[in-house]
Structure 1
Amino acid sequence: MRLLHISDVHAGKRLHGYSQEEDLAHALAQVVDVCRERSVDCVLVAGDLYDTTQPPDYAVTLVDGFLRDLAEAGVRVVAVPGNHDSAARVGFASPLLAASGVHVVGPLEGPVEPVVLEDAHGEVRVWPVPFVRPATVRAALGCDAPSPTEALAAVVDAMGVDGSVRNVCVAHQFVTSGGVGPERSESELTLGDADNVEVSVFDPFDYVALGHLHRAQKVGRETVRYSGTPLKYSRGEAGNDKSMVLVDLGEKRGPGDCDLSFELVPFEPLRDVRQACGPLEELVSPEVLALAPADDYVAVTLTDDTLPLDALGRLREAYPNLLSLEHAPASATGAREAEVRAPDPGLDLEGLFAGFFEAQRGHAMDDRQRAVLAECVALVGEGE
C-alpha cells in the first residue's frame, strides 16, 4: 500500500500581505503529479486545509479542485480538520464525498471509524482523528479526560484497534516525546506546550501522519511524523526545504512488526522564500540579481552604515515580492560582537547613553546628537 502524507495546506493564507494562491496551486499540482507518477493509493491530509474557519472563495475553490483532481486520478483521500479549520464546514457532505473515495471527516461526535483500504497483504485501516481538546472528547465520548494526552488516549481506546492488521492514524495535534517538543517554525511559535500529547498514545499504529507543525520531522520514532507545510509561510523558514512523505506499507507480521519504508519527496516552489543580507548597491547589482529569481519572496537586511536614500523603493524595484527591510549596520554588528564591559559606575545619564550609542552604532555621537541628548536629559530631570 502506498500512501502520501501532507498537511497544513493553509489555503487562503497570506505571506506578509502577499497572496500565495498561485504558489499553493503549484504545490498541490505537484501532489497530484506524484500520485500519478508514483502510483499512490491514498493521500493523507493531516489537517488545516484552510488558514481560517471562514476561508475566502478562492481558497475553497483551490481545495475543491485539488480533491477533485485526486478523485479523478483514482486516488483515495483521507483528510481531517485542524485547529485552523471549521470542522463542521470541512466535514460538509462527507457521505457524498466518501462515495467518490474522498473521506473528509468533520468534528468528533463519537468513536472514530476507520477508512478501510485493501491490497495484496490485506486490510489497511486508516483512522482519521480531527483536532480535539479534552472538552471535545468529554462531550463526544462521555469520558473523564482532564488532559490532552488522556483525551487522545480515550479516543484511541474507543477505536478498539486490532494489532493484527495494518493501522494508520491521521491526526492534527501537538505531539511530544518524553515532554520534549518538536521543532517549530517562525509561523507557529505562538503554539504553546499546554496542549501537548505524548507520542506513546499512538503506539497501536504502524504509521502516524501528523499535522499542526510546519517543519518536517519525526516525533519519538521514525514512523510518527510531521510532513510540514507545502509552502514556506514565514521568512524564518528560508532555507528549510519542504516535502511530502511517501509511505510504503508492506506485510504485517504481528503487533508492532510491519514492513514499512518512507521517502521525503521535495516540493519545488513556484517562488521561494529567502533572505538577502548586504549593502544596498551590492544587493541591487545585476550580478547578485542574476543568482536567484528576482520574484522570490525576499527578506532583506541592509548592512550600510547609514540607511541609503530611498532604500525601500530601490529594493522593491529589484525585488517585487519584498517581504521586509531591516537595517543592521556592519559597524554596529561588529561593535555588538566585541567584548562587553560593565559601564563606569561614575558616569552620569548622558555618559551612560553616549557609551550605549557608541557600542550599538560603532562610532561616537556627533555634536548635534549630543545636544539632543542633553536636552532630553534636562527634560527628564524636570519631570522628577
Structure 2
Amino acid sequence: MRLLHTSDWHVGRTFHGADLLADQDTVLRHLAEVVERLSVDVVLVAGDVYDRAVPSAEAVRVATAALRGLREAGAQLVITPGNHDSAARLGAFADFAEAGGLHLRTTIDSIDRPVLLEDEHGPVALYGIPYLEPDPARIALGVPEARGHTGVLTEAMRRVKADLATRGSGVRSVVLAHAFVTGGVGSESERTIAVGGVEQVPGSVFDGVDYVALGHLHGPQRLADHLRYSGSPLAYSFSEAARKSVWIVDLDEQGLAEVDRVELPVPRRLATVRGRLDDLLEDPAHDDLRECYLSATLTDPVRPVDGMRRLRARFPHAVHLDWEPEGGAGGELRYSEAVKGRTDLEIAENFLADCRGAGPGERERRLLVAALESAGRANAGLGEAVR
C-alpha cells in the first residue's frame, strides 16, 4: 500500500496580509497529480485543514476542490483535525462521506476505530487521533489524572494499541496525530499549543505502530524512520524558505518498507533583502526579486517616509518591512530612565527621534507644543524658548 502524508494546509491563511487562496489552490491541486503519477492508494491529512475554526466560503471551496481532486485521482482519504480546525465542523456528515472514500476521524470516540483498508498483503489499520486539548480531553478520555499533551496522547495511543492487539499479527498500522513531538523544529508560523509551559511529547508515546503521520510543525522532518512531519504545503513565514514537500510511504508485508520525499511546486518564492531604500529601488541586482514575496529591512539613518508604498512600486509583492538604521543605538533603555528629568516636550521629541532616526523639525516642534498645550500637558519645562 502506498500512502501520501500531508498536513497543515491552513486553507484561508494570509501571508502578512496577502491572500494565499490562489496559491493554496495551485499546490493542493498538484497533490492530485502526485497521487495519479505515483499510484497513491491513501492520502493522510494530519490536521489543520483550515486556518480557522469557522473558515470562509472561499476557503471551503478550495479545500473541497482539493479533496475532490484527490479522490478522483484514485486515492482514499483519511483526515484528522488540528488545533486550528473545528473538529465538529470538519467531521460533519462523516458517516456519509466514508461511503465515498473520505474517512474523517474527528472525535475521541473514534480514536480506536480504525479505517480498515486492504492490499495484496492483507489489512492496514489507519487510526486518526484528533488534536487533543489536554484539559477537556483528559476528562473525555476518562483519565482525569493525566497531565498535559503527553498524558492525553499516552491514553489515546493505549487505546490504539489495545484495538490493534485484537486484530492479529498480520495487520499493519498507521496513526495520524497532531502534536509537537520532542526533537521537532518549529517555525514562526505555528500557533503555540503550550499548556502550563509544556507542549512537547516524547516520540516514544507513538512506539508500536508501523508509521506515524504527524502534523502541526510546518517544516518536513524525520524524527525516526516511522515518525515524520510532512510540513505545510506552502510557506507561512519567512522562516520557511526551504522547499515544501510530502512524504510517500510504502508499506509491504512486514510493515514500513520505504519513505520518499516529493517536493511541491512553489507558486511564489520568498526573499529577504537589506539596504537603503534608494539602493533597493535602483540596484539592478534585485531585478529577480520583483515576483517574490519580499521582506525588506531598511538601513537608512532616518526612517523613509511611506517606505512600503515606495518599495511596492518596484516589488509589488513586498509584504513585510523593518527599519534597522546603520549605526543605530544598541542596548535597552528602561522607560523610567528614558523620561527621568525630562519635560513632556523632550519626551515627545525623543520618541520621534527613536521611531524614525531624526528629531522633529521646527514646524513639527511647534505642532508638538500646541498639542501638549491643548491636552493640558504643557509645563514649565516648555518655557519661552520654544514659543
TM-score, length of structure 2 as denominator length? 0.79
Tell me the CA shift for residue 326 of structure 1. Answer: 1.3
Q: For this pair of structures, how many residues does the alignment match?
A: 346
* Structure 1 CA distance for aligned equivalents of residues 129 and 280 of structure 2: 48
Unaligned runs of 5+ in 2: 332-339, 370-377, 382-387
Distance 2:157 2:242 in 1: 33
Deviations 1:57-105 (A, max 9, x none): 0111111111111111111110001111110110011111111111122
Counterpart of 2:92 in structure 1 is 92
Match of 1:115 in 2: 115
Whole-angstrom distance in 2 between the partners of 1:265 and 1:282: 39
Cα distance in structure 1, aligned partners of 2:380 and 2:269: 52
Q: CA deviation at 1:156?
A: 1.9
Q: CA deviation at 1:336?
A: 5.3
Compute the TM-score of the two structures, normalised by the length of structure 1.
Answer: 0.80
Gaps of 5+ in 1: 253-257, 338-347
Aligned partners of 2:235 and 2:209: how far apart in 1? 29
Do structure 1's residue 153 and structure 2's residue 178 form an aligned pair? no
Give secondary structure in 2 for the equivalent of 1:290: helix
Counterpart of 1:62 in structure 2: which amino acid?
V
- Contact residue 134 and residue 145 of structure 1 kept, 8 A: no
Q: How big is the shift at 1:208? A: 0.6
> Corresponding residue for 2:185?
183
1:197 maps to 201
3-state SS, counterpart of residue 282 of structure 1: helix
Alignment of 1:207-218 (within 5 A): 207-218=211-222
Would the alpha carbon gap of residues 78 and 196 (structure 1) be closer, same or farther in structure 2, given more than 3 Å must change? same
User: Does residue 1:302 correspond to 2:308, yes or no?
Assistant: no
Q: Percent identity?
A: 38
Q: Does the 8 A contact of 2:303 with 2:323 survive in 1?
A: yes
Once residues 33 and 136 of structure 2 are traced to their aligned partners in structure 1, the CA distance between those partners, rounded to angstroms, is 37
After superposition, where does 1:373-384 map in structure 2 within 5 Å? Answer: none
Give 1:235's match in structure 2, choosing from 231, 238, 257.
238
> Cα 1:117–1:285, aligned 2, differ >3 Å: closer, same or farther?
farther
2:273 aligns to what?
276
Does structure 2 conserve the Cα–Cα contact (< 8 Å) formed by 1:51 and 1:84? yes
User: What secondary structure sits across from 1:248 in the alignment?
Assistant: strand
| Residue type of the alignment partner of 2:215 | G
CA–CA separation in structure 1 for the residues paired with 2:206 and 2:56: 34
In structure 1, distance between residues paired with 2:124 and 2:116: 6
| Residue 336 (structure 2) aligns with | none
Q: Deviations over 1:259-303 (max 9, x none)?
A: 4221221122211222111222332236234323x2321111112
Q: Conserved in 1, the CA contact under 8 Å of 2:111 and 2:129? A: no
Task: Tell me whether 312-321 or 187-196 shows the greater mean CA deviation.
Answer: 187-196
By how many angstroms is 1:34 displaced?
A: 0.7
Partner of residue 313, structure 1: 309
CA distance in structure 1 between the aligned counterparts of 2:253 and 2:288, rounded to whole angstroms: 48
1:325 corresponds in structure 2 to 321
Matched with 1:62 is 62
Structure 1 residues 263 and 106: CA distance shift in structure 2, 3 A: same
